[in-house]
Structures are given as structure tokens and as C-alpha cells.
Structure 1
């Protein structure tokens, strides 16, 4: 259990660092995050069901985004070219075992708001125009996980410690 937790924390820190510095993340990091999150949450059928439900939410959300942007531009658009990075998608897939659906939706929305606010605050220190969504979301998740470990009352994540 401690090894998995350390791998999870290190993967989140590397996602944060790589996305903020380079605006992309290595494919191995979301894989490590997903595997460690799945086992830290309790690797049984219930977690698999939660993961699938959260994935369905993510698919529906991206589907609505594609339909909205395509309707606005009057042509079918690829959401990964201008609106959403592949690393962002992989990160949000990787954290699906960590939350019940309503908590996943809450984290999804809060992480987007957190990323936009952080981008505005640190605008002069960041050279890129794009928002490092996966990196800043990883930082917020790390804050939530630390909160859940230190103050287990009203946990946000499903991590069992």
C-alpha cells in the first residue's frame, strides 16, 4: 500500500511538472496514476463499476463539447486540436477510480475553475497561452488527497488509508 501511494503521488507531481513546463505529459504517467488509483481505492467489482460510470460521464461531456463546438463552427471539429489536450483526457480517465460520480463531477468542474484561476494569477510567469489543465488538476488532486488523509471526515476521494 505505501508503495502504491508513493507511486501515485510521484506520478501526480510529474504530471504537474511536465504539463506546466512542456504542455504535454508522458503516456506512462496516466497509466501509473490509473493503476495506483484503482488499487488504492480497493480493487474490487464496485470500483470497476464506479470507474465505468465516471468514464461514461467523461464520454458524454466530451461528446457534448464536440457537438457544441461543431455546431458553433458549422463543421465537425476535433476537440483535441484547440480545446482539450490528449494528456488532459488521459488524466481524467486515470482518476476515474478515485471518485463516486457526484464527487467526480465536482472535481472535474473545480479542477477546471482552479486551472483557469491559476492561469490568470500566474500569467506573467507562464510562457504558453494554453492552460496546463492536467498539471493543475493533478496539483488540486494532490491537495484533496492530502486533505483526505489528514482530515478523513467528509472524504472526497475513495483512497483507503
Structure 2
């Protein structure tokens, strides 16, 4: 059952990558399904308590508030950064995957994922005219690579646990 859920999760990550790269948007139902599957994977073999998931969401909330404060100071007026600096789908993607990571691994994934997304965007931007970063798409690709490394027993990044 867990292997089936993990396979579906990987397929959803591929779909999100394709959608985000093509349209710079992702469907909300995909994020709902990812959240449900992530919770089910954690329910089948509990690795995280609700408290642990709450810590990850608190980290994400603090980071989002910090980003909003930064944008306010930078622009010299209060402005909602959603859809001008970061997409709502990107934020919801981070929320949907919280049940997959313990807090310290989530923070590491968050930082490394953002760094790799910027790096990939800078490389690809030279060939494209888009000025927006398909963050959820890049993070989905990053998760596919991480899950693939775990599946082939090469390395277990972020201590991802599934069978």
C-alpha cells in the first residue's frame, strides 16, 4: 500500500513539474491529493506526530511572515507578496509536503530546494524570456530525485522513509 501511495506521489510530482513549467500555475486539487497521500503515508507507518507536522507548518508560517515583512520594507509599503513575489501554489505545495519530513529535514529541504531552484532558474533563464520562477515545479523535480536516490539505495537524502 505504501509503495503504491509513493508511486502516485511521484506521478503527481511529475504532473506538477510539467504544469508549473508550462503554465506557471498548478491545479489546487493536485496539492490536496499530495497532502492527503502524504498524511496517509505517515498514517500507515507513523514517523511524525501531529506536533512535528505543526512545527514544520509553524516554520513555514514564520518564514512567510518574514518574507512579507522583507517585501514591505523593500517596497516601502504593505503589499501582499502572493502572486507578485511568490505564488499561492508554491506556498500550498510547501504545506502539502510537510507530513513527509521531520522538522530538521524539512528546514534543510526548504533551504536547499530554494537554493537549487534559484540556481536552475539562473541557468535556464538565459534561454527563456520568463521572469517568474516555477518554484513548485523545481521542488517537485528535486523531490523526484530525492525519492529516486532512496529507491535505488544510493543515498537517503533528508532521511525519507518509505518502502
For the criterion TM > 0.5, the same-fold answer is: yes
Q: Which residue of 2 aligns with 1:34?
A: 35
How many Å separate the matches in 1 of 2:8 and 2:97?
Answer: 14
Q: Which residue of 1 aligns with 2:121?
A: 119
Greater mean deviation of Cα atoms: 109-118 or 40-49: 40-49
Shift of 1:113: 1.1
Contact 1:41 1:159 in 2 (8 A): no
CA RMSD of aligned residues (A): 1.9
How many Å separate the matches in 2 of 1:8 and 1:112?
Answer: 21
Q: Which residue of 1 aligns with 2:143?
A: 141
Shift of 1:155: 4.7
Greater mean deviation of Cα atoms: 144-153 or 24-33: 144-153
Q: 1:29-108, aligned counterparts within 5 Å?
A: 29-43=30-44, 44=46, 46-108=48-110
SS at match of 1:81: coil
TM-score where L is the length of structure 2: 0.89
Q: Which residue of 1 aligns with 2:17?
A: 16
Bigger relative contact order, structure 1 or 2 (CA pairs below 8 A, ≥6 apart): 2
How many Å separate the matches in 1 of 2:47 and 2:122?
Answer: 41
Structure 1: runs of 5 or more not aligned: none
> Closer, same or farther in 2 for the Cα pair 1:45/1:150, shift >3 Å?
closer
SS at match of 1:93: helix
How many Å separate the matches in 1 of 2:11 and 2:64?
Answer: 28
